């Protein structure tokens, strides 16, 4: 089966709740041959795990790295997502800002326009404040 993977499947798999859905989600991940994981779904999953389930950054990053590396999961621009997770985990950036920085780095864009001063901690791109 080839299909796009939604956030709620990942969240059920990671949290184990509700139990019936979690078992089905885990079984799907184990038995599927090709599921595509979109960057938007990764961003939403980070948000839900951190904000709703209050998981620590290290746990969120580790869970998502495991999914990105899963043999049945296809991800475009894997390196951008892995770099985003590293910036999220190590530099403490919100995931979207981490993703902006990682995308700027990968595409050679030298700056990010943002009011978020946390981007200044990275140093690989310039933050331009409007």
Q: 56: domain CATH number?
A: 3.40.50.1010
Q: Are 75 and 64 in contact (CB under 8 A)?
A: no
Q: Which of 120, 88, 92 is nearest to 102 (CA)?
A: 88
| Local structure of residue 120 (DSSP, 8 states) | G
Is residue 22 within 8 Å of residue 15, measured between CB atoms?
yes
Question: What SS3 class is residue 54?
Answer: coil
Does residue 18 sit in the same domain as residue 31?
Answer: yes
Q: Which of 31, 58, 76 is the last residue before a domain boundary?
A: 76
Q: Any idea which residue has 């049945």 for tokens?
A: 72
| Each residue's pLDDT expressed in tens, for the chain with a length of 130 residues | 799 999 999 999 999 999 999 999 999 999 999 999 999 999 999 999 999 999 999 999 999 999 999 999 999 999 999 999 999 999 999 999 999 999 999 999 999 999 999 999 999 999 999 9
Q: What's CA 88's distance to the chain center, in Å?
A: 9
Same domain, yes or no, for 72 and 90? no
Same domain, 61 and 115: no
Range of the domain at 66: 1-76
Residue 99 sits in the same domain as residue 46? no
Tell whether 35 and 61 lie within a shared domain: yes
């Amino acid at each position: 089966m080839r299909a796009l993977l939604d956030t709620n499947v990942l969240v059920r798999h990671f949290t184990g709740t509700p139990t019936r859905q979690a078992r089905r989600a885990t079984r799907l991940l184990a038995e599927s041959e090709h599921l595509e994981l979109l960057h938007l779904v990764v961003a939403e999953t980070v948000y839900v795990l951190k904000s709703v389930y209050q998981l620590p950054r290290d746990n969120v990053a580790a869970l998502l790295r495991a999914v990105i590396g899963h043999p049945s999961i296809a991800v475009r621009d894997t390196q951008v997502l892995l770099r985003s997770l590293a910036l999220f985990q190590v530099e403490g950036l919100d995931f979207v800002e981490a993703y902006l920085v990682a995308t700027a780095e990968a595409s050679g864009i030298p700056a990010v326009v943002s009011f978020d001063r946390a981007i200044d901690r990275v140093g690989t791109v310039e933050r331009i404040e409007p």
